[in-house]
Amino acid sequence: MAVEDEIRLKLEDAFAPRALTVKDDSAAHAGHAGAPAGGQSHFNVVIRADAFADMSRIARHRAIHAALGRDLVGRIHALALDVDG
């Protein structure tokens, strides 16, 4: 399964978002440090979910990292997050 799909599934399961966009931006970073030849290393996530309504920005990011899990986060070089409740 592609990393993009893993991210999407885990976030859908954890937060039941109203809106979710997961974009693989790896091609834009090809040749840069931390960008493996196979891609799937740089992602941009936009997520809107009621679960984030009363959380601080840091708590939101921590919740997303926890939902993705240590293994998946460890395979990602860069993860840009746009999170709102």
For each of the domains in the chain, give its residue range(s) and CATH number, in order of start.
3-84 (3.30.300.90)
pLDDT over 90 at 25, yes or no: no
% of the chain exceeding 70 in pLDDT? 85
Per-residue pLDDT at 29 exceeds 60 = no
Instruction: Round the average pLDDT of the chain to a whole number and report it.
Output: 89
Is the pLDDT at 82 greater than 70, yes or no?
Answer: yes
Segment 23-26 long-range contacts (CB within 8 Å, at least 24 positions apart): 25/78, 25/80
- Give the rounded distance of the alpha carbon of 43 from its chain centre: 6
Q: Of 10, 41, 11, which is closest to residue 25 (Cα–Cα)?
A: 41
